[in-house]
Structure 1
């Protein structure tokens, strides 16, 4: 058997090389996102996401920023239709320290958002706590890439990997991406949480992990 190549660690290995590979890939994907999408792509992704949201009363989402696939249209449509939309709270505590543990609040309109940690819009409150995620039957996670098998490359803070521990066992976990960000494979670590569905401007991709994307599986 040939010796393992340390420059190409196996997927799933918790090594510094895997984390370095993630960093390189994140930089490449973020650079590609600086090229604006056509409005038609945003509209097509929104239409597909709305179809998936139908029938889910409580949905966890996020306010897009920094060239992420746009979620503002989805936020507005879901709120107008009477869905309960949970948004991450990433801001600072009253004592000025940064909130690192997962927390959520209900979206009640754009005019009731504030700029939180890393300039990410968030509700002003009230805080619902990490356990509020258990109410959501559909959870949209931020991400930079995903695979047909369900692996997801997050933005690097590990926030969703911690938050998803509080998801309901039968919740559907999804990610909104550009179609070019669906990759054949990704560097992953043992704590990375898979997704069950990927929605792009071109398709709805049910991943091979659809039945296994829930915590504890």
Structure 2
């Protein structure tokens, strides 16, 4: 079922994508390093367990080094298997991934099904923009909104964002899943509720 279109969302998406296109590789690198450090600091007191994360594409907050760092610290990592219906697989090595939709690497390890997200103790999600009120603007396909229906209610849902893409609120509809917090290159903040 297609998600309803919202012109306000489309307008903000276009604006964010235009601004991202103007970010230099050096700025992306510096922001990604600072954001990775903020995630690792935030998780620093946690016992490594299961974490769901995404593999970034060019032009969005990077996650590849973060995946490596978390894996090295003993975290078990679930990565999306990008099909119409949400699915997940465990990350083991980059050699055990293959390009998928949008040339995004996905694990070649066994698919675990949509319900496997309930095993994640922390979930890090992408966004184009995030609100201080917990609202999150995705790319418009609704994949994460469908996938997140299977998460545990006690697993924090954290948006990885650029500080320039944080607003008081972003356009959202009833089916949009809110996040509990955001982590930017400036640190973690914004726990909703």
Assess same fold via TM > 0.5. Answer: yes
Pair 76,133 (structure 1): closer, same or farther in 2 beyond 3 Å: same
Structure 2 partner of 1:62? 54
* Structure in which a larger fraction of residues adopt helix: 2
Following the alignment from structure 2 to structure 1, what is the Cα–Cα distance between the partners of residues 152 and 169?
27
From 132, 145, 166, give the equivalent of 1:148.
132
The answer to whether the 8 Å contact 1:53/1:138 transfers is: no
Gapped regions of structure 2 (runs ≥ 5): none
Q: What pairs with 1:63-78 in structure 2 (closer than 5 Å)?
A: 63-78=55-70
Equivalent residue pairs, number: 186
Structure 2 partner of 1:202? 186
Gapped regions of structure 1 (runs ≥ 5): 1-13, 91-98, 210-217
The answer to whether the 8 Å contact 2:42/2:188 transfers is: no
* Structure in which a larger fraction of residues adopt strand: 2
Structure 1 partner of 2:41? 51
- Kindly report structure 1 stretches of 4+ aligned residues shifted beyond 6 Å: none
Pair 38,119 (structure 1): closer, same or farther in 2 beyond 3 Å: closer
Structure 1 partner of 2:30? 40
Superposition RMSD on alpha carbons, in Å?
1.6
* TM-score after normalising by structure 2: 0.91
The answer to whether the 8 Å contact 1:79/1:109 transfers is: no
Following the alignment from structure 2 to structure 1, what is the Cα–Cα distance between the partners of residues 80 and 178?
19
- Any idea what the Cα deviations from partners look like across 1:160-185, whole Å, max 9, x if unmatched? 10001100110000011110100122
